[in-house]
Amino acid sequence: TEAWGPDDDEPRRHHGPVRVRVPAKINLHLGVGPLRADGFHELNTVYHAISLFDELTARAGDTLTLTMEGEGTGALALDETNLIIRAAKALAARTRVPAYARLHLRKSIPLAGGLAGGSADAAATLIACDLLWGTGLAREELAEIGATLGSDIPFLLHGGTALGTGHGEAISPILARPTTWHWVVAVAEGGLSTPEVYRKLDELRDGSWPPKALGDADELMSALRQRNPEVLGAALGNDLQPAALALRPELADVLKAGSEAGAVTGLVSGSGPTCVFLATDAAHAGRVAAGLNAAGVCRDAVTARGPMPGARVT
């Protein structure tokens, strides 16, 4: 489907359709520092891309349109508040091309779930439109545009397992021997607002509880190198978990049910309310998911693997 010649000076548009698959993220370590003057919290996080995907298709058009199907899309506006539209327009403005495309999203990543689905869709849009419009930006340039729209977008362009600092937008890959980790993702009924979870954390910390923040990710990084689920399980941590639990106390039942179903360990994913559980292998993950579904504590429990590549043309 290559649509341009070898030595073109002029960017040439792709005939389309361009189809991009993008994963959800979980945080293996989410250390949240104090609130900065710019309104962001300083983060020290380890991102991990898992095999739960949204798919964005871009076709040539003479205006910018968006259609969506799947998970939670009925609750999402198709206007300028949609991160897909914002990403397409930001790329067009940067590269001085008209923002013309027909975009279609097939969504599987639950909405407002702490899995960065909106950021994933924005990352997919940047990759798809860059190819469709022949603007040929480097991945780092797309990440720079992405960072202005959402802190998780640079990671979702990158994928794999990576350290995130700043407010999460500064990514450094973690070099480790390739290991596949097996997860169970317990999707909740309804979402949680990320800003609200951060506000709750600040409130808890003002009352000096929880007393101790996670800090850096050294223990998690060395656990990743050991390739042992028990060791990794003991190193997982999320500073936002107490805040998510304060806002959604029934998540404690989900974590308990996962542990009773035999998971190595479980934690809230990012700002929640999705909970993720580590399993020892694919069969074990299947049993933990079945146990969680039988307990009836979540909307759906599904298995996933990680790490996965970031947003890629399929």
Annotated binding residues for ATP, written as ranges, equal: 110-120
Per rule CB under 6 A, is residue 194 in the interface with ligand ATP? yes
CA dist., res. 272 & res. 241, Å (int): 8
Binding of residue 112 to ligand ATP (CB under 6 A): yes
Catalytic residue of the set 25, 54, 107, 121? 25
Interaction of residue 114 with ligand ATP, rule CB under 6 A: yes
Distance CA 100, CA 61 (A): 6
Cβ neighbours of 16 (radius 10 Å): 18
Q: Tell me: does residue 117 bind ligand ATP (CB under 6 A).
A: yes
CB of 126 to ligand ATP, least distance (A): 13
Q: Would you give the binding string for ligand ATP spanning residues 131-170, x where CB under 6 A is met?
A: ---------------------x------------------
Looking at the Cβ atoms of 44 and 271, the one nearer to ligand ATP is 271
Pick the catalytic residue from 54, 152, 200, 239. 152
* Alpha carbons within 13 A on the beta-carbon side of 297: 25
**Counting contacts by CB under 6 A, is residue 273 touching ligand ATP?**
no
Using rule CB under 6 A, residue 113 touches ligand ATP: yes
Member of 44, 95, 119, 303 binding ligand ATP (CB under 6 A): 119
Judged by beta carbon, residue 142 or residue 261, the one nearer ligand ATP is 142
Question: Token pair of 226, please?
Answer: 């050991």
Residues facing 68 on adjacent strands: 105
- Residue 274 CA to residue 272 CA, distance in Å, equals 5
Among 110-118, 210-218, 222-230, 250-258, which window interacts with ligand ATP (CB under 6 A)?
A: 110-118
Chain position carrying tokens 């021997």:
177
CB-based contacts of 140, cutoff 8 Å, min separation 6? none
> Given the complex with ligand ATP, which of 153 and 292 has the nearer CB atom?
153
C-alpha span between 156 and 146 (Å, rounded): 10
Residues 48 and 28 sit within 8 Å (Cβ to Cβ): yes
Residue 200 is a catalytic residue: no
Work out the widest C-alpha separation in the chain, in whole angstroms.
Answer: 63
Q: Tell me the β-bridge partners of 299.
A: none
Binding site for ligand ATP (CB under 6 A): 76, 81-84, 111-119, 121, 152, 194, 270-271
- Residues labelled as active-site residues: 25, 152
